[in-house]
Structure 1
Amino acid sequence: MIHSSSTAELADDLATASAPRKRSFWRALLAGPSGLIGLVIVAVLIFAALTAPVIAPYDPLRMAAGPRLDAPSTNYLMGTDDFGRDVLSRIIYGARLTLQIGVIAVGISLSCGLLLGLVAGYSSGWTERVLMRLVDVLFSFTEIVIALACLAIFGVGLTNAMIAIGIASIPFYARVTHSVVLVEKGKPYFEAAVAAGAGHLRLIFLHLLPNVVPTLIVIGTLGVSTAILAAAGLSFLGLGAQPPQPEWGFMLSSSRDLISRAPWMMIFPGLAIATTVLGFNLLGDGIREALDPRQTDR
C-alpha cells in the first residue's frame, strides 16, 4: 500500500507532467511582433518614468519656462502650454503617473479579485454562492458607474481615482479566477492530490494558484491599459488628477478650448495615451501567446 506522503509526491509529479513543456518564455515573447513591439513601448515608458528628472529639459510645473503657446521648435520640441510650461517635460513626468495608475489600480483589483475567486471556487457550497452572487451584483454595473460612485464617496483626486478604478474592476478578476479554479478542480492531477489527502493550503497554493496566475498575468497586463484609459477619462472630466499635476488626461482636458490655437497641446498627450495603451495591449497579447500551452517545442 502506498503511504499518503508518497501518493502526494506522485500527485505533484502528475501535475508537473500534465503541463506541456513550453518554449523559453522570453524567446516565445520576443518571437512575435506583438510581444516585441509591446515590450519596447512599455520599456520606453518605464525608462521615461525612472529617468524623468534627468531627461526632461524643464521642470514640468515651472511656469514661463518659455513663451506662452509657443509652437514646437528646437527649443521646445512639443511646444509650450498656455502657462508657458514645456509640454515635453510634462509628458515625460506624466509617464510616472501613468505607470502609477496602472500598477496601483490593477494591483487592487487583481489581488482582491484573486482572493475572492480562489475562496469561492475552492470552498463551494454556500460560501461560493454568497460570494459569487455579490460579484454578480457588482458585475451588473459598468466599471465607470462603480468608479463614479466610489469617487462620490471618497472625493475627487488622482489617488482616489486609482482606488476607485481598482475597486470597479474587482468583479471581473473574481469571475475569471473563479472560472479557472473550477476548471482546474476538475482535472486529474487535482483529484489525485485530494485523494492523496493533501491539505487545503497545499491544494490552494501548490496546485490551484500556479495555474491561475498565468491567466491573471495576461488579463492584468491588458487591464493596465484599461485602467490608464479610465483614469484619463476621469481626469478629463475633472474627477482625477488636479492642477498642476502633469497627467495626460488632465492635459487633454485643459487644452480642449485651445485646440484651434495650439493643437499640439492635445495632439501629444493624446498620442502618449494611445501609444501607451497600444503597448500594453500588444504586450498582453504577446504574453498570452508565450504562455499558450499550444506554443511548445516538439
Structure 2
Amino acid sequence: MTQQVSTPIPPVAPLPTKSQELQQFLRVLLRSPGAKIGALILVVLILVALFAPAIAPYGPSEMGVGGNLQSPSAEHWFGTDEFGRDLFSRIVHGSRLTLMIGFIAVGISMTAGTLIGLVAGYAGGWLETILMRAIDVLFSFTEILIALATVAVLGPSLTNAMIAVGISSIPFYARVTYGAVLVEKNKEYFKAAQAVGARHHRLLFRHILPNILSPIIVVATVGVSIAILSASALSFLGLGPQPPSPEWGAILAAGRDFFRRAPWITTFPGVAIALAVLGFNLLGDGLREALDPQQRS
C-alpha cells in the first residue's frame, strides 16, 4: 500500500493595506522627476492664485498706474499695457481665472462623460448603442469647433466659455470610462457580486467606479491643461471672458495689436499659459505611472 505525500500549499501573500498602497503610490510618484517638476509648478500657481491680492501691487483693472506701454522695470516687473495697467498684477490675478476655468470645465466634462460611459458600458443593448453613437458624432468634430459652436449659441462670457470647454471634452471621458467598464464587467469579482444579487447602483458605484478611477484621474489631470488652452483660444478670438477681465488668453489677444511696440504684453501671458499647461501635463504623466499596478509591484 503506497503512502500518499501531501504537497504543502504555499502561503498566500497578504493584500496590501490602504496605508501601504498610499506609500507605494507616493514612492512611484516622487520617483518621477517630471512629476516633481509639474507638482512644483502647480503648487506655485495655486499659491499665486490664493494670495493674488497680497502678491499683486495693483488691482487687475487699475488704469494709469504707469505710463502707457511702459517696458518692464523695477517698478513694473512685466511692464504696462496700453491703458497703463500693471501687467504683473493682471497676470497674477488672471491665475485665479485660469485655474477656475480649468477645474470647472474638467468637472463638467468628467462628470457627464463618466456617467455616460458608466451607463453605456453597464446597461448594454439599445441604450449603449444610442449613447456611444452620440459620442462618436461628437468625436467627429474637433474640441475647439464644439466649443466655438457652443459659445456661438450661448454668447461670449466667462461662464459660457467654461461650459463650452466642458462640453467639448465629454467624449474623451465617456470613451475612457466605457472601455474600462467593459473590462471590469468580465472580472470575477463583478460576476460574483451579480450572483449574490447586488443592486444596480451598488454594482455601478461600489464595485465598478472605484476600480476605474485611475485612468479617469489621469485623463482629468491632462484635461485641465487642454481646458486652459481651449479657454485661452476662445479668449484670443474674443469669445471668452470679456474686457477688462485679466484672463491670460484675453491679455494675449489684447497685446497682439502692440506686438512690435510692446512685445512683453504677449510674451508674459504666453509664458504663463505654457508653464501651467506644462505643469499639468508633467503631473499627469507621473500619476499615470504611479497608478499603474505594474509600476507599484
Amino acid at match of 1:60: P
SS of alignment partner, residue 260 of structure 2:
coil
Partner in structure 2 of residue 291 of structure 1: 291
Shift of 1:22: 7.0
Partner in structure 2 of residue 275 of structure 1: 275
Shift of 1:212: 1.6
Shift of 1:85: 0.6
Comparing 185-194 with 261-270, greater Cα deviation is found at 185-194
SS of alignment partner, residue 246 of structure 2:
coil
Partner in structure 1 of residue 182 of structure 2: 182
Q: 1 CA distance for matches of 2:28 and 2:56?
A: 35
SS of alignment partner, residue 77 of structure 1:
coil
Shift of 1:109: 0.3
What RMSD, in angstroms, separates the aligned Cα atoms of the two structures? Answer: 1.6
Amino acid at match of 1:69: L
Asked which structure has the greater RCO (Cα within 8 Å, sep 6+), the reply is 1
Unmatched segments (≥5 aa) in structure 2: 1-14
Amino acid at match of 1:195: A
Q: 1 CA distance for matches of 2:89 and 2:22?
A: 43
Amino acid at match of 1:180: A
Amino acid at match of 2:257: D
Equivalent residue runs for 1:225-240 within 5 Å: 225-240=225-240
Q: 1 CA distance for matches of 2:147 and 2:35?
A: 31
Shift of 1:28: 2.3
Partner in structure 2 of residue 51 of structure 1: 51
The alignment's TM-score, normalised by the length of structure 1, stands at 0.91
Aligned partners of 2:24 and 2:296 also within 8 Å: no
Q: Which has the larger radius of gyration?
A: 2
Q: Deviations over 1:106-133 (max 9, x none)?
A: 0000000011110111111111111111
Aligned partners of 1:23 and 1:296 also within 8 Å: no
Aligned partners of 2:228 and 2:277 also within 8 Å: yes
Amino acid at match of 1:109: S
Unmatched segments (≥5 aa) in structure 1: 1-15
The alignment's TM-score, normalised by the length of structure 2, stands at 0.91
Equivalent residue runs for 1:143-162 within 5 Å: 143-162=143-162
Aligned partners of 2:290 and 2:296 also within 8 Å: no
Q: 2 CA distance for matches of 1:157 and 1:201?
A: 37
Q: Deviations over 1:132-162 (max 9, x none)?
A: 1111112211111111111111011121011
SS of alignment partner, residue 181 of structure 1:
helix
Aligned length: 281
Q: Deviations over 1:186-241 (max 9, x none)?
A: 11221222223222122111210001211111000000000000000010000001
Q: Return closer, same or farther for 1:113/1:195 CA change in 2, 3 Å cut-off.
A: same
Q: 2 CA distance for matches of 1:21 and 1:106?
A: 27
Q: Deviations over 1:218-276 (max 9, x none)?
A: 00000000000000001000000111000111111101121111111111000000000
1:83 pairs with 2:87: no
Shift of 1:21: 5.4
Q: 2 CA distance for matches of 1:152 and 1:262?
A: 32
Comparing 126-135 with 191-200, greater Cα deviation is found at 191-200
Aligned partners of 2:41 and 2:279 also within 8 Å: yes
Partner in structure 2 of residue 165 of structure 1: 165
Shift of 1:279: 0.3
Equivalent residue runs for 1:83-232 within 5 Å: 83-232=83-232
Aligned partners of 1:22 and 1:293 also within 8 Å: no
Q: Return closer, same or farther for 1:21/1:65 CA change in 2, 3 Å cut-off.
A: closer
Aligned partners of 2:109 and 2:168 also within 8 Å: yes
4+ runs deviating over 4 angstroms: 19-23
Shift of 1:23: 4.6
Partner in structure 2 of residue 72 of structure 1: 72
Q: Return closer, same or farther for 1:22/1:247 CA change in 2, 3 Å cut-off.
A: closer
Aligned partners of 1:23 and 1:295 also within 8 Å: no
